[in-house]
Amino acid sequence: MAFSSLLQWCLIFVLFRSAFAQLSEDYYALTCPQVNSIIKDEMTNILRKEPGMGGSLVHLHFHDCGVSGCDASILLDDTPSVAGEKSAALNQNSTWGYEAIDQIKARVEKECPGIVSCADILTVAARDSIVGLGGPTWTVPLGRKDSLEPHRFMTNLLGALFIGNLETLILAFKLKGFSTEEFVALTGSHTIGRARCTTFRKRIYEETNIDPSFAKATQVHCPRQGNDGDRIPIDCTTPYVFDNAYFKNLMQQKGLLDIDQELYTGKGGPADAIVANYSANQDNFFKEYTTAILKFGQIGVLTGNDGEVRINCRKVNAPKA
């Protein structure tokens, strides 16, 4: 999972559909009561075959919600007349997991045809990815609808406009009701993330705020030239376990991405104390994380008569005759 732009993408949601929607934990109680069990079963199989897919699905969830709310717009394929989000510069070669969502959707459609949205499936799959890799659990409120179109222009425009530094990102989250603790906790998703060599090559060869042995070990996988698309785990200690090792690594200057290490400077930075807290107390990290991601997954969703329930997550439904 290439989380190199996760924090910048989180900032993007500030500008768009910001209302917290009214969702319901028992939305499918009468129409598809087994939906959570279906998704959990499929995710168990997916993670057993490829544990790295868990991080990819969490990343996909963030990129979906980051542009226009959690509406599954990122899942739409390009068409001859409409360019989608997944082929935009910030998503191409950066997001994975589309086939996994297809697999889950096919199973859900078989048991509950035309009932469960792709947006809900992606949100629950992200939760189950974290739980399946040892992380905390929470109840996902449901009832999201799928968008009728992608938001390619918005994706490109915001990607070009925003180059967020830590202070800017913290402020943006505070303006939307997220504490700094929640913001840093969300970044903890990197504990199961992967990043492409091209996103951190400069850091491991040129920067000084990095543990020399960590830099040298990483250079083996990412030489100065070539291997641009190769992905390595952001958490070098427990890459496929959702835990607080990511924060422990930051305190040892073993942050893979620039924005990771920016969270902990060791010089009294705005997030230093929070990183230290999460490093020492995993329960505190889990508590803040579940609060934050629950809120994030409800921002700007489509409900009621807005949007639709796609039959195929990759394309909007055909017009009704």
Instruction: Give the model's pLDDT for residue 154.
Output: 66
**Structure-block tokens of residue 74:** 């990122």
Find out whether 180 is annotated in a ligand binding site: no
User: What residues in the chain have per-residue pLDDT under 50?
Assistant: 1-5, 7, 14-16, 18-19, 161-162
Find out whether 67 is annotated in a ligand binding site: yes
Distance CA 146, CA 129 (A): 21
**Structure-block tokens of residue 216:** 């040298």
Secondary structure (3-state) at 263? coil
Distance CA 26, CA 20 (A): 18
Find out whether 191 is annotated in a ligand binding site: yes
305, with CB counted inside 10 A (0-12, 13-18, 19+), is: exposed
Instruction: Give the model's pLDDT for residue 82.
Output: 86
Instruction: Give the model's pLDDT for residue 175.
Output: 75
Give the list of residues 6+ apart from residue 69 with CB closer than 8 angstroms, or none.
13, 16, 17, 299, 300, 301, 302
Instruction: Give the model's pLDDT for residue 284.
Output: 98
Instruction: Give the model's pLDDT for residue 92.
Output: 73
Find out whether 59 is annotated in a ligand binding site: no
Task: Name the β-bridge partners of 308.
Answer: 146
**Structure-block tokens of residue 254:** 């073993």
Find out whether 94 is annotated in a ligand binding site: no
Which run of H or E residues covers position 167? helix 166-175
- Judge whether 97 and 294 are in contact, CB under 8 Å: no
Give the list of residues 6+ apart from residue 17 with CB closer than 8 angstroms, or none.
68, 69, 299, 300, 301
Place of tokens 């090792």: 245
* Closest of 140, 138, 53 to residue 100, by C-alpha: 53
- Judge whether 142 and 34 are in contact, CB under 8 Å: no
pTM: 0.91
Output the CA angle 71-87-169, nearest 5 degrees. 60
Instruction: Give the model's pLDDT for residue 14.
Output: 44
Find out whether 5 is annotated in a ligand binding site: no
Give the list of residues 6+ apart from residue 44 with CB closer than 8 angstroms, or none.
132
Distance CA 270, CA 292 (A): 18
Find out whether 137 is annotated in a ligand binding site: no
CATH of domain 3-163: 1.10.520.10
Instruction: Give the model's pLDDT for residue 3.
Output: 45
CATH superfamily of 166-290: Peroxidase, domain 2 (1.10.420.10)
- Judge whether 40 and 81 are in contact, CB under 8 Å: no
Same fold, 3-163 and 166-290: no
Domain map (residue ranges) of the chain:
3-163, 166-290
Active site residues: 63
Distance CA 128, CA 240 (A): 14
